[in-house]
Amino acid sequence: MCLIASMTVYRYVEISRFREKSVEYDFVVSAGDPEMADIKNRLRGMTFQSVDDEIIDEGIHRLTIRCPPDKVGIVKELLSRAMPEE
């Protein structure tokens, strides 16, 4: 039980640090609505924060994501994998 409590506190502290160090980034993504919903859900789970979505044109979205500068590469990689091939 003590181990579970310790791990929970550790995880909470790590999430808090992640959020405190976060900076806002904008990405332009080309994807349909179903793909965009999946991308946003993954990003929310990965960054522990909301993801803002602005429609620029049909099928083109501007995502505003908050994450620490040292983690932005992971976000870019996730976005490049998630976008459908044309």
Q: What confidence tens digit (pLDDT) does each residue in 18-46 have?
A: 889 999 999 999 888 888 899 999 999 98
64-80 average pLDDT score: 90
Per residue in 1-18, pLDDT (tens digit) is 899 999 999 999 999 998
CA distance 63 to 52: 6
Task: Tell me what pLDDT residue 33 has.
Answer: 85
Task: Tell me what pLDDT residue 24 has.
Answer: 94
Report how many domains make up the chain: 1
Q: Domain limits at 70?
A: 2-82
CA distance 70 to 83: 22
Task: Tell me what pLDDT residue 78 has.
Answer: 86
CATH number, domain at 25?
3.30.70
Q: Are 62 and 24 in contact (CB under 8 A)?
A: no
pTM of the model: 0.76
